[in-house]
């Protein structure tokens, strides 16, 4: 029977494997009577890979933090601009033309419950489930619910305003793959669910 490939597929596990290899290769070369420089070319490739991986992780973390900051700041700005605009509209001398000049006039968006339905796609990237979704002009966010492993029902996961949403939870049983299911539904600017839930998306986390 053929042996399973010794190189892990999951990138974090692969990086750990490379570190183990780098730590131990000198002792193996000594035991085999080979020169210490015998693996230098391979060491260079492995080290380069680990450096690229760490750079990618750092940039990804920075992007994630920037995204969270934007979500927070966006909520704060909207919470401030809406009542301020409402007060302007009640000020003597206000006209529609004045409001239009700063973009606070326009038709209200209507939502048809039969069509306001998010489209959600799931993929596994860099040790996380990445949920991509489309926004809606009448919605401030999308509310995700999830069900995983042996769970029998969907439970709240997160409200997200800026796609994509990254689910970085560890598997309930880290020793085996985990099946997950997700649904999303739009949330309006008052915090109420609107429209219809998305189709259920399924993915297996290694």
Q: Is 25 a member of any domain? A: yes
d(CA 187, CA 44): 51
Query: How many CB atoms neighbour CB 18 within 10 A?
Result: 19
| pLDDT (tens digit per residue) in 37-48 | 999 999 999 999
Pair (82, 151) in one structural domain: no
115 assigned to some structural domain: no
Looking at the fold, whether 29 and 60 belong to one and the same domain comes out as: yes
Domains identified in the chain, total number: 2
Q: Note whether 102 and 124 are same-domain residues.
A: no
pLDDT digits (tens, 9 = 90+) for 1-23: 556 788 888 888 899 999 999 99
Q: Are 13 and 102 part of one and the same domain?
A: yes
Range of the domain at 187: 120-205
Over residues 22-66, the pLDDT tens digits come to: 999 999 999 999 999 999 999 999 999 999 999 998 998 888 888
Hey, what are 172's tokens? 């309930």
- Asked, for residue 29, whether it belongs to a domain, the answer is yes
The DSSP bridge pattern shows strands 178-188 and 120-125 to be: unpaired
Considering the domain architecture, whether residues 143 and 183 belong to the same structural domain is answered as: yes
pTM: 0.53
Q: Of 106, 138, 166, which closes a domain?
A: 106
Residue where a domain terminates, one of 81, 106, 131: 106
84 or 109: which leads in pLDDT: 84
Both 102 and 142 in one domain: the answer is: no
Mean pLDDT of the residues in the chain: 90
Residue 158 pLDDT greater than 80, yes or no: yes
Q: Which residue has the higher pLDDT, 111 or 189?
A: 189
Looking at the fold, whether 25 and 63 belong to one and the same domain comes out as yes
54 assigned to some structural domain = yes
What's the whole-number mean pLDDT along residues 159-188?
A: 93
- Strands (DSSP E) contained in the chain are 120-125, 128-133, 139-148, 155-160, 165-167, 178-188, 193-194, 201-205
């Amino acid at each position: 029977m053929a042996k399973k490939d010794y190189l892990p597929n999951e990138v974090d596990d692969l990086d750990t494997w490379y570190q183990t290899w780098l730590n131990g290769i000198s002792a193996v070369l000594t035991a085999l009577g080979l020169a210490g420089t015998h693996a230098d070319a391979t060491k260079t490739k492995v080290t380069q890979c680990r450096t690229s991986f760490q750079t990618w992780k750092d940039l990804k973390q920075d992007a994630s933090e920037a995204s969270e900051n934007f979500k927070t700041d966006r909520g704060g700005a909207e919470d401030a601009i809406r009542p301020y605009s409402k007060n302007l509209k009640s000020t003597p001398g206000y006209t529609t033309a004045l409001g239009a000049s700063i973009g606070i006039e326009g038709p209200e968006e209507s939502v048809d419950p039969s069509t306001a339905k998010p489209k959600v796609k799931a993929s596994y990237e860099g040790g996380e489930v990445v949920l991509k979704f489309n926004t809606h002009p009448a919605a401030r966010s999308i509310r995700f619910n999830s069900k995983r492993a042996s769970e029998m029902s969907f439970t709240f996961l997160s409200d997200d305003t800026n796609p994509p949403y990254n689910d970085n939870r560890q598997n309930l049983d880290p020793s085996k793959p985990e099946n997950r299911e997700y649904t999303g539904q739009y949330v309006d600017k008052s915090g109420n669910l609107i429209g219809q839930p998305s189709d259920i998306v399924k993915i297996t986390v290694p």
